[in-house]
Structure 1
């Protein structure tokens, strides 16, 4: 805030999976994977399937692809994989990313093939599964991805952000009213939510048994809640 000091009785960490505030206050962070998202915005195609208004998820050997239409008629196309696989297969190179897309059965039908990899401008972002623990303490609470960040395939990011925001606000109000156990109960609730998510994620990835590759095998075993 331009060097201006602000005093507050409570701090809410909504800084995303980096959990910058919680970490500065002594909380520990843990990551369950090193997932990376490699995304591009591609020109529209001319077939009805390419102009579909629905999103699509398709599994592949190195991870899974996500496509969705955008209001301007283009499509966002994204590969979810692991950082070591990105390096091993040089997936930051548009031609290699494009080859992976063209090897899919369904995702490839959602975009135009005109121009090939020359149309690809990749954006790379972290998409790790993580949590901070504890997720609350005296005078502070973490919410959203700062508290618990889930695999995008779960489709629960917005819901979790809203739910933790509301629950953290209730805990802060209760603490301010004299309930000294409120923030601790909130932290325990976040821990339980993350543990439940890890179990559900394992079942989700076990349901896809066509790929005997590192990306998939890493997610089919029970993860330790750290």
Structure 2
């Protein structure tokens, strides 16, 4: 039987961050169901990420990766145009990332520090035992039994490991995102993220490294706009007609060169973020609405936080998971307050289903089940 101190299921930013922070002191096995990172929406890091990268000893190497600085955010929201720049932020600019390159680098950093990485691998038949966990790994070479002292669920929104351990997933809305990529052929971008509200949802665009650009639309999965945006040309026509985003795309000389893709973007949490000997990180713990621009930061932060709690667990602190769960409960409460505030600033389409749902959520958000720790 293969043995490891920590098994991390999911090698995205949260899982790789946990691995690279644990690997110097413990045996760490990082597994992922994919053969390699894929390009996906979710490529913004706020300025505060600098502190995490410095603390983890990654800052200088991160700068050498060639990601594009983000100098602030511009919005057309609630009928008002606004701009928030990062010029006075003590942490400097934020960043627009090449997401696949960023994930590959984090994984390589974890391996360089001593973690083992298995791709095309999943974990099944998880059972608690006196000194940890037993399970089976399905690998390209066959089935392998494994014993781990600590488990970390970094498997994304599905949180399959957490649900296998008894947690329930709580989906809080129906938000989805449709996006595509292309090249800017016009003048250099100003380095700002851009969002614009519309009757059936909201839009996002940002310049990426290598003169690339992402264009995204967010709406609810059951609304007519969700069906319409299956058509790439509809997405491009509608974006070009917007009063703010349309001229911005025209000035950039944006030319789409990929088909439109769709993904879930709803807020979600689990009834438990941790228990004795296990922790959930990133989207497996808290899935953020992209409007918050905090998804990647949350992945890095919870990955680091779980690594610290996992280290204490392996040192004999049987209650390390309790403090971790309490910290995530505070993060969730702050996130929901801020999200309700920002959606509440748009009142022009208060009767439209997309906005009415979010305004109603401000009134009854206390009904959500608290994010707590759970014993299994």
Q: TM-score range by the shorter chain?
A: 0.7 to 0.9
Shift of 1:66: 0.6
Shift of 1:120: 6.4
The CA distance in 2 between the partners of 1:130 and 1:163, in whole Å, is: 17
Question: Quick check: which one's strand share is greater?
Answer: 2
Over aligned residues, Cα RMSD in angstroms? 2.5
Q: Could you tell me the TM-score, scaled by structure 1's length?
A: 0.87
Q: Which moved more, 1:17-26 or 1:208-217?
A: 208-217
Contact in 1 for aligned 2:184/2:255 (Cα 8 Å): no
Shift of 1:9: 0.3
**Alpha-carbon deviations, 1:52-71, whole Å to 9, x = none?**
43221111111111111133
Whether 2:358 is the aligned partner of 1:215: answer: no
**Alpha-carbon deviations, 1:152-188, whole Å to 9, x = none?**
1111112211221222222222233333322122112
Query: Match for residue 327 of structure 2?
Result: 189
Segments of 5+ residues of structure 2 without an aligned counterpart are 1-120, 122-138, 370-376
Aligned pair partner of 1:173 in 295, 302, 311 = 311
Aligned pair partner of 1:12 in 120, 129, 152 = 152
The CA distance in 2 between the partners of 1:74 and 1:177, in whole Å, is: 46
The CA distance in 2 between the partners of 1:156 and 1:132, in whole Å, is: 18
Query: Match for residue 77 of structure 1?
Result: 215
Question: Quick check: which one's helix share is greater?
Answer: 1
Query: Match for residue 368 of structure 2?
Result: 225
Misfit runs of 4+, over 4 Å: 86-89, 116-120
Aligned pair partner of 2:301 in 163, 170, 179 = 163
Aligned pair partner of 2:249 in 111, 116, 126 = 111
Q: Which has the higher contact order (CA 8 A, sep 6+)?
A: 1
Matches within 5 A, 1:26-65: 26-46=166-186, 48=187, 51-65=189-203
Q: How many residues align?
A: 223
Segments of 5+ residues of structure 1 without an aligned counterpart are none
Q: Which moved more, 1:140-149 or 1:96-105?
A: 96-105
SS of match in other structure, 2:157: helix
Q: Could you tell me the TM-score, scaled by structure 2's length?
A: 0.54
